[in-house]
Chain A
Amino acid sequence: MEINQHYRINSFLEAADGIKLVCLGLVPGKQIQIIGRAPFSGAFLVECEQKRIAISSKELLELDLERVDA
């Protein structure tokens, strides 16, 4: 994952906590931007429709993401 890069969520992989992702607005079709990463290779900070969400790398990898231009 690259910082400041935009991605589109295509789908959730099987192990994803789908309910929670959906509850936070991370639904297939939406675009996210990686804003930053916590120290010690920690969680990612992503922005989705002006909302900021902290998501651990494990959970982010459960999203099928497609790189898109801003």
Chain B
Amino acid sequence: MRQKTGNYPGVTTSIHRAKFSLSPDTYAQLLDLPGAYSLYPNTSDELQLVKLLLDQQASLSMYVYVADVTALDKQLLLLTQLIDLNLPCVLFLTKTEGLSQEQLHNVKSVLQDEFSIPVLPIVRDASDNISTIKQFLSTHVGRTNDAHKTYYQPTAEQHEWLTKIDYQEFTSYTYSDLIAATYTELLPIKERRFSKGNQSKNVKWQIDETMIRYQKMQPVERAIKKILDTNSSSFSNRLDAVFTHPKLGSLVFFGILFFIFQAIYAWSEWPMEMIDRGVAGVGEWIGQLIGPGQLASFIVDGVLAGIGGVIIFIPQIAILFFLLSLFEESGYMARAVYLFDHLMKRFGLSGRSIVSLMSAGACAIPAVMSARTIENDRERLITILVSPFISCSARIPVYTILIGLAVPAVTVFGIFNLKGLAFTGLYVLSALVALLAGFVLKKCFKSDQSSALLIELPPYSMPSMKNVLVIVWSKVRAFVWEAGRIILLISMVLWFLGSYGPGEAMDRAEQSAKQEVIENKLEPAEADALLSSKKLEASYAGHLGKWMEPIIRPLGYDWKIGIGLLASFAAREVFVGTMSTIYSMGDADEVSLKARLNNEVDPKTGKHVFDFATSMSLLIFFLLAMQCMSTLAIVKRETKSWKWPIVQLVGMTTLAYLAAFVVYQVLS
């Protein structure tokens, strides 16, 4: 199981399932649930947890409660509730680094004595963690709840209320009946009327219950504090003096963003160059091995061009996820939420939207999902709607190629790469557009729901390189596998569409090219290029591109770019693979896509197709357009309606078309 997990709310926002072997002949299913502080949740991800805990059908063998040993005072509240629900629990303690064996032993004893449940301290990065956990689970699986203590039971007033609800499942009016009655949606419709009418009383009861639990936990809390007796927060506090400072903290935040985007461009330059050369070398080798013909063309121009279009962007995507994971793992993200909550609210967003928007810099899908942690419905919806504006990793391939064409490779102020600055500029622009869109949507959607920030800032910790690398690996693998499959498939389809045409169109194109070669006495290289170009124009792909050319011509695009745009509505990154396939068919000698695009000349006007105006217009189109089917599917799932993905698709694409039109008309 390679899921990103964490023992504080907001990291796991949905239920992840995995099968693993406890022993050679025993398999277990693991469900990783969203984190919560209590059974009284505020967000939709926390509600999923409550639903599963109350689901009799789920009948899980064991509940593994994962708690941060440095924050037990807050994290034991939910454990006492699980014990009162009579669930068989075991307790895992994390963040144990820095504690002595004696401290760990004493903490474990205190907790075992108090709760009568098995406790396992987890030492981060220990090589035998997995086997220790498996052995521990094997030993305790199937155990019943041995807790001899109850922390809270329904009061007489609550009994009376449960009686009024008159739900047949409520027989002995236990604590689990009380929790089920609190969530009206868990009850049959008829029984909901009494439950619904009790909301203000419920809140008071919940506070009373929580206070009683805290009071009962105080002796344990004191005992653990005495054992730990650490002052680890002083280091965090010194860092916070800078990172949460109103002015310095904001500067640091923008400095971090700037550093990330510069690093993506600057650090990835040479590995990308190596991959580009490698793919070209393999293509030449295959061409020589098989010899000229349709098979070689299919393998080199159809398959290899598609694969090359995917793997070349691995360095940039790896760098982006590596840096984002470092900041997330260190505990910095919560500081960014604190710093910008108030500002984000002016744009209809929440401080927590910062996490979504930064995640959207990698991919809009986790960004949309992480919006579950936002309590206010309007802020959550706006976050979901504007997150895809943020430039994601799928746009990186397109930006890289187009910036390469439009921006000269020069250094400014002695240290900054101009292409890197342009890259950063696109990210800044996308963030500004997202904020502006949020502001407009805020004016459109009215909400009376309260929206207040209340979060704990975790202490800073050194990121675990193992965790970071696992995240980078899983993201790169997902990009190569999930996006790569689509890109490869589309590349092969495009090769077919570009190599064959309706009726005898291809033969006629060949005859016409041969005649032109003789009339104009062209050199062999020019003759090949002319033949390829004529055949592509006569192909199915050429017909498709020509059909849509009148619509995209005002944006500065020709029919070849049109094919790329059409294909990229499945996923943005498909554009580069498509361009690679189309232009490799038009210019067999040139191996680098950038060089191919740079050399492309409009036969009608004699001008470069990818001039400054067209490249900038395309950049703006890709910056604003909604071109990701997976994101639309996730938005549908998260909003439980097709309305919002359709609004997103139509709204963003219309905006992209208009903005690209203005950019091209002004610059040309």
Interface residues of A (CB under 8 A from B): 12, 15, 17-25, 27-28, 35-43, 45, 49-56, 58-59
Q: How far is the CA of A23 from the CA of B69 in the complex (A)?
A: 16
Q: Describe A's contact surface by its main secondary structure.
A: mixed
- Contact yes or no, B211 A27, CB < 8 A: yes
Q: Are A42 and B342 in contact (CB under 8 A)?
A: yes
Complex: how many Å from CA A37 to CA B342? 11
- Asked, given contacts A38-B342, A43-B351, A56-B342, whether A22 binds B211 with beta carbons under 8 Å apart, the answer is yes
Among candidates A36, A37, A56, residue contacting B454 with C-beta atoms closer than 8 Å = A56
- In whole angstroms, what is the CA distance A50 to B240 when docked? 13
Chain B window 242-261, contacts with chain A (Cβ cutoff 8 Å), 1 for yes, 0 for no: 00111101100000000000
Q: How far is the CB of B210 from chain A (nearest CB, A)?
A: 4
Given A52-B457, A54-B455, A56-B453: A22 and B214 interface contact (C-beta under 8 Å): yes
- Select the stretch in B21-29, B71-79, B108-116, B190-198 that faces chain A: B71-79
Known interface pairs A23-B38, A56-B452; A36-B339 also in contact (CB < 8 Å): no
A19 in contact with B343 given A53-B454, A54-B455, A58-B452 (CB within 8 Å): no
A-B interface, 5 closest residue pairs, ranked by CB to CB distance from nearest? A42-B342, A54-B338, A23-B37, A18-B207, A56-B453
- What is the CA–CA distance of A62 and B639 in the complex, to the nearest angstrom? 32
Known: A53-B454, A56-B453. A19 touches B74 (CB 8 A): no
A19 to B202, CA, bound (A): 11
The verdict on A37 contacting B246 (CB below 8 Å), with A12-B207, A19-B203, A19-B206 known, is yes
CB contact between A18 and one of B74, B206, B351 (< 8 Å): that residue:
B206
Query: Which residue from chain B places its CB closest to the CB of A18 in the assembled complex?
Result: B207
- Judging by beta carbons under 8 Å apart, are A40 and B456 in contact? no
Q: Contacts of B454 on A, CB cut-off 8 Å?
A: 17, 20-21, 24, 53-56, 59
In whole angstroms, how far apart are the Cα atoms of A36 and B242 in the complex? 11
Q: Does B341 contact A (CB under 8 A)?
A: yes
Please list 7 pairs of residues, one from A and one from B, whose beta carbons are closer than 8 Å in the complex, sorted by A's number: A15-B450, A42-B339, A43-B351, A45-B338, A52-B456, A53-B455, A54-B341
Question: When the two chains form their complex, are residues B40 and A45 in contact, meaning their CB atoms are under 8 A apart?
Answer: no
Would you call B207 and A39 a contact (CB within 8 A)? no
Query: A45 near B207 (CB under 8 angstroms)?
Result: no
Interface string of B34-47 (1 = CB under 8 A from A): 00011010100000
Among B233, B237, B450, B454, max chain A CB count under 10 A is at: B454
**A54→B203 CA distance, assembly (Å):** 22
> Cβ of A45: which chain B residues have Cβ within 8 Å of it?
240, 244, 338, 457
Q: From residue A4, how far is it (CB to closest CB) to chain B in Å?
A: 12
B207: A residues at CB distance < 8 A: 12, 18-19, 22
Q: Which of B77, B236, B457 has the most CB of A within 10 A?
A: B457
B230 CB to closest chain A CB, in angstroms? 9
Q: Is the CB of B77 within 8 A of A41?
A: no
B206 adjacent to A41 (CB under 8 Å): no
* Cβ-based interface call for B334 (8 A): yes
How many A-B residue pairs lie within 8 Å, measured between CB atoms?
Answer: 119
Closest to B344 in A: A42
B371: CB under 8 A from chain A? no
Select one of A15, A23, A37, A58 contacting B74, CB under 8 A.
Answer: A23
Does B434 count as interface, using CB distance less than 8 angstroms?
no
Distance of A54 Cα from B342 Cα, bound (Å): 11
B interface secondary structure, majority: helix
Q: How far is the CA of A21 from the CA of B454 in the complex (A)?
A: 8
Chain A nearest CB from B354 CB (Å) reads 12
Name the contact of A53 in the complex, choosing from B73, B342, B457 (C-beta under 8 A).
B457
- Residues of A contacting B338 in the complex (Cβ-Cβ under 8 angstroms): 38, 42-43, 45, 54
Asked if residues A40 and B343 are in contact (CB atoms below 8 Å), the reply is: yes
- Among the listed A27, A51, A58, which residue makes an inter-chain contact with B71, where contact means beta carbons less than 8 Å apart? A51
Report A21 CB to chain B, min CB distance, Å. Answer: 7
Residues on the A chain within 8 Å of B74, using CB: 23-25, 51
Interface pair B343/A24, CB less than 8 Å apart: no
Q: Are B337 and A54 in contact (CB under 8 A)?
A: yes
User: B236–A55 contact, CB under 8 A?
Assistant: no
Docked Cα-Cα span, A53 to B450, in Å, equals: 19
Report B-chain residues with C-beta under 8 Å of the C-beta of A39: 246-247, 249-250, 339, 342-343
B63 at interface, CB cutoff 8 A? no
Across-interface contacts of A18 in B (CB, < 8 A) = 203, 206-207, 210
- Is B340 interfacial (CB 8 A cutoff)? yes
| B-side contacts of A19, CB under 8 Å | 38, 40, 42, 203, 206-207, 210
The answer on a CB contact under 8 Å between A25 and B246 is no
Q: Is the CB of A43 within 8 A of B77?
A: no
A55 to B455, CA, bound (A): 7
Residues of B within 8 A of A41 (CB): 342
Contact A24 B40 (CB under 8 A): no
Quick one: closest B residue to A21, CB to CB? B454
Contact A53 B341 (CB under 8 A): no
A-chain residues with CB within 8 Å of residue B210 when the two chains form the complex: 18-19, 22-23
Chain B residues near A58 (CB-CB < 8 A): 450, 452
Contacts of B245 on A, CB cut-off 8 Å?
36
Residues of chain B with a CB closer than 8 A to A17's CB = 42, 450, 452, 454
Q: Which residues of B contact A23 (CB under 8 A)?
A: 37-38, 74, 77, 210
Q: Among A12, A38, A49, A56, which residue has its beta carbon within 8 angstroms of that of B246?
A: A38
> Which A residues are in CB contact (< 8 Å) with B457?
45, 52-54
Cα separation A22 to B452 with both chains bound (whole Å): 15
Closest residue to A22 on the B side, CB-wise?
Answer: B210
Closest A residue to B73 by beta carbon equals A25
Q: For B231, list chain A residues within 8 Å (CB).
A: 50
Interface string of B325-352 (1 = CB under 8 A from A): 0000000001001111111000000010
A43 touches B214 (CB 8 A): no
Contacts of A53 in B (CB 8 A): 454-457
Residue of A nearest to B453 (CB): A56
Q: Which residue of B lies closest to A12 (CB)?
A: B207
